[in-house]
């Protein structure tokens, strides 16, 4: 157990809908990262927040948005969902603002299925 929690564990929805994924980082961690992992593929970095501010942006679609709240939990909002958005969405947290020595700890993931 990494100490990072994600809800919900599974989510099934229809195309065109909007969903919100939630992540609570480990106690004391200031950074939250969001990743997308499609079936049998590697992780695609989406976005990072550090202490409430956006820190780095990866391959995040315009239909997706995220934020980090004052209590440091984060939400990833996915809208106008398409079949291709079906994937595992991982949240990770780290103590500091990033860097190769700033180990990322991953939550269990949310499996999103778009029908």
Partner 1 sequence: GQSLEQPSEVTAVEGAIVQINCTYQTSGFYGLSWYQQHDGGAPTFLSYNGLDGLEETGRFSSFLSRSDSYGYLLLQELQMKDSASYFCAVMKDSNYQLIWGAGTKLIIKP
Per CB under 8 A, 34 contacts partner 1: no
- Whether the upstream peptide bond of residue 74 has omega within 30° of 0, thus cis, is no
Q: Where are the alpha helices (DSSP H) in the chain?
A: none
Cα dist. 45→30, 37, 57, 89, 101 in Å? 18, 9, 8, 10, 17
Per CB under 8 A, 42 contacts partner 1: yes
Per CB under 8 A, 109 contacts partner 1: yes
Per CB under 8 A, 61 contacts partner 1: no
Please report how many Cα atoms fall inside a 13 Å half-sphere around the Cα of residue 65, on the Cβ side.
Answer: 6
Which is nearer to partner 1, 14 or 39 (by Cβ)?
A: 39
**Rounded least distance, CB 88 to partner 1, Å:** 9
Residue numbers of the site for partner 1 (CB under 8 A)?
A: 2, 41-45, 48, 55-58, 90, 92, 97-109
């Amino acid at each position: 157990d990494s100490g990072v929690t994600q809800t919900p564990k599974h989510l099934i929805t229809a195309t065109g809908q909007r969903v919100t994924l939630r992540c609570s980082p480990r106690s004391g961690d200031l950074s939250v990262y969001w990743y997308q992992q499609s079936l049998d593929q590697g992780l695609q970095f989406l976005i990072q927040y550090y202490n409430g501010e956006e820190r780095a942006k990866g391959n995040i679609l315009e239909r997706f948005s995220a934020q980090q709240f004052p209590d440091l939990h984060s939400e990833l909002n996915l809208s106008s969902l398409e079949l291709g958005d079906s994937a595992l969405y991982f949240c990770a947290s780290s103590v500091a603002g990033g860097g190769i020595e700033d180990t990322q700890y991953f939550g269990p993931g949310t499996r999103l299925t778009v029908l």
